[in-house]
Amino acid sequence: GHLMVVGYGPAGPERSRLIATELRDALDATTVQVHIQDGTWRTRAGLAGPWGVATALPRPAGPGLPDLAATKDELRTSMAPLPWPVFGSPSPATLAGLEKLSPALRADVARRTLDNVAAGNDPVAQTELLAHLATSDLVTRDIILGHALDGTDTEARVNALVQTFRSAPAENRQALAALAAAATYLAAWNPPHVRELLAHADSHSTLAGLVSTAVDAGVNPHKLRSTLLRAVSIELDEAEHAGTANDRTRPDVPGTSKVQRKPAAPPAPARPAPSARKSAPEL
């Protein structure tokens, strides 16, 4: 087989040639060199043959995947917060409605909100709601993380968490960066992406610390995903059992179509006042 050696930027051709030479001398390996710069790529076979024609980098193969980065600066920019936030805080009515939800209903809202953000439905309002849900309590945050990695559309959901962090107000960025770093790590994104996100997370965050340790140790993220999904399910069951779900109604939450207010029960008909009891005559 052939080994592919990729060089980035203006010095990419020389770096790829040096690495290819070392691989040939050490392993007797046959290599194909790839040079990526300014949104284009080209290849050459052998150590010093002519380079092929440069062509534009392909778009991501699946929905939700980030654009390919040709340089470290492009990678850093693609993971950095935007110059200004795109959204603020949910309305007081929305916050009041969310507070009345049981853990299970809150989890349902969080899952569908993440799906909406990943699909680009009402992006500003839904991203605002997702950011609040992900930073307001740990159970809901973990539900969002588990849902991002469960089933299909994983890349779109994970990228939705990255973009939510990037477009968030400053006060939410550290918590959202830790969540996005965990999601990208468990989705097996390249370690440089994960490390760029960790650079924006709270250094005292337990979640960020665990992700950083796992990345540095080279732990296979695929082995942790099923464990995470089981743990999230148990966590939600425990939270629901500890809550008072049976005593709570479903309030309106703007932007979440399936969570509706439970119709108020009709008032009971007024009973006629009981007739005054006559006191027994004294004997």
Residue 59's pLDDT band, with cuts at 50, 70 and 90, is: low
Band of the pLDDT at 68, cuts 50, 70, 90?
Answer: low
Q: Is 22 helix (H, G, I), strand (E, B) or coil?
A: helix
Interval 172-187 mean pLDDT: 95
Instruction: Look at residue 258 and tell me whether its pLDDT is greater than 70.
Output: no
The separation between CA 114 and the C-alpha centre of its own chain, rounded to angstroms, equals 8
What per-residue confidence (pLDDT) applies to 64? 55
CA 182 – CA 1 distance, rounded (Å): 34
Residue 182 has pLDDT above 90, yes or no: yes
Q: What number is the average pLDDT over the span 263-282?
A: 43
Q: Is 141 exposed, middle or buried, given 0-12, 13-18 or 19+ CB atoms closer than 10 A?
A: buried
Question: Is pLDDT of 281 > 70?
Answer: no
**Which residue is listed with tokens 């732990």?**
219
Please name the residue that has the structure tokens 């007024």: 270
Contacts of 236 (CB under 8 A, 6+ apart): 103, 104, 107, 139, 143
Distance from C-alpha of 18 to C-alpha of 41, rounded to nearest angstrom? 18
- Considering 19-33, 175-189, 247-261, the range whose residues carry the highest mean pLDDT is 175-189
| Residue 183: pLDDT band with limits 50, 70, 90 | very high
Residue ranges in the chain assigned as alpha helix (H): 12-27, 72-79, 92-99, 103-119, 123-136, 138-148, 154-166, 170-186, 191-198, 206-217, 222-242
Distance separating alpha carbons of residues 197 and 182, to the nearest angstrom: 9
